[in-house]
Amino acid sequence: MLDVYMPMMKSSAIISAGRLGLFEALANGPLSVAQLAEKIQSSLKGTAALADFLIALGYLEKQDQRLANTASTQRWFTSLGQVDYTPGLLWTHEAWPMMGGLAEAVRSGHPEKTLWDAMIEQSHLGELFSSYMAAFASDLGPDLLRHVPVLPEQHRLLDLGGSHGLHAIRFCQRYPQLNAVIVDLPSALTETGATIENEQLSDRIRLSPGDLQAQDWGNEHDLVFYLSVAHNHTAEENRQVIQRIGETLSQGGLLVIHEYLAENPLDALDAAFRLTLLVETGTQTYRYEDYCQWLTAAGFESIDRIDLNPREKGSLILARR
């Protein structure tokens, strides 16, 4: 029972801290329990009970009788850290009730309702999911810049499933010759136009809302991003998408795939992610060999795999025709 009870309490305590803004409240320095309670507009009794558990978990620590974030909490869950994954806590709060349908998804082999349909019904879900993806993207961004070469004569970037727009923005900022098109479902793009405008890139980055499988993306792209999108599609859909990318990529152009590649045997994180996908989208992760097969069939000749560090960040596949 401890395997059931403790992860539930651990997860809900960390999520609650995110929802209450507790980690952010401590970002500028330690506070007494009373000061913290006041800052997060919560009861003294409740704040003390939550803080006690977060200390036991190693998320908070005591400094001269005051409460402080540990270095790791400060780094991953505050605006002053390396990446603020608080949107991931807010998203996981929404994912809890979805996981209540896991037994039914196992029985039927597919979600009762896909994430994308849920986002149409509840518009706040799309915005929240995109901001969670944006946190991942700010973590992944430096790896992409390091590993993805862009030549001066390459001008046209197509970002399939580009969501928050951070990857297209980062590459347009680094390479002044680039223009980009972001294709994604309307639910994922609600904030993207404003983000692009804030970065003063509206004249270089265009949004193209719609289903990437149904849409005409235009042709002749020099660089195509398919970043963390393949696991949201079936094997046949991926085969077709990669075939179409192959047909529209310019000579010397580059396709960049970011994915969590299924290994044999699956480790616990891979297997957990596959269960999540069973409930949320009805799709799965694929093996590196699957990508190689789709890419080779689409005429790609050079295929490179880069496993990122740490491993949980997934892998990049760079393919040229």
| Residues at the interface with ligand SAM (CB under 6 A) | 133, 136-137, 161-163, 183-185, 188, 211-213, 227-229, 232
Q: Which of 267, 269, 241 is nearest to 255 (CA)?
A: 241
- The residue of the chain with the least Cβ separation from ligand SAM equals 161
Q: Residue 254 Cβ, how far from ligand SAM at the closest point, in Å?
A: 16
Q: Residue 263 Cβ, how far from ligand SAM at the closest point, in Å?
A: 20
Q: Which of 134, 145, 147 is nearest to 317 (CA)?
A: 147
Q: Which of residues 184 and 222 has its CB atom nearest to ligand SAM in the complex?
A: 184
Q: Which of residues 86 and 232 has its CB atom nearest to ligand SAM in the complex?
A: 232
Q: Residue 52 Cβ, how far from ligand SAM at the closest point, in Å?
A: 35
For residue 91, the tally of other CB atoms under 10 A from its CB is: 20
Q: Residue 190 Cβ, how far from ligand SAM at the closest point, in Å?
A: 11
Q: Residue 292 Cβ, how far from ligand SAM at the closest point, in Å?
A: 21
Q: Which of residues 40 and 111 has its CB atom nearest to ligand SAM in the complex?
A: 111
Q: Residue 3 Cβ, how far from ligand SAM at the closest point, in Å?
A: 28
Q: Which of residues 165 and 253 has its CB atom nearest to ligand SAM in the complex?
A: 165
Structure tokens, 80: 């002053």
Q: Which of residues 69 and 285 has its CB atom nearest to ligand SAM in the complex?
A: 285
Q: Which of residues 18 and 162 has its CB atom nearest to ligand SAM in the complex?
A: 162
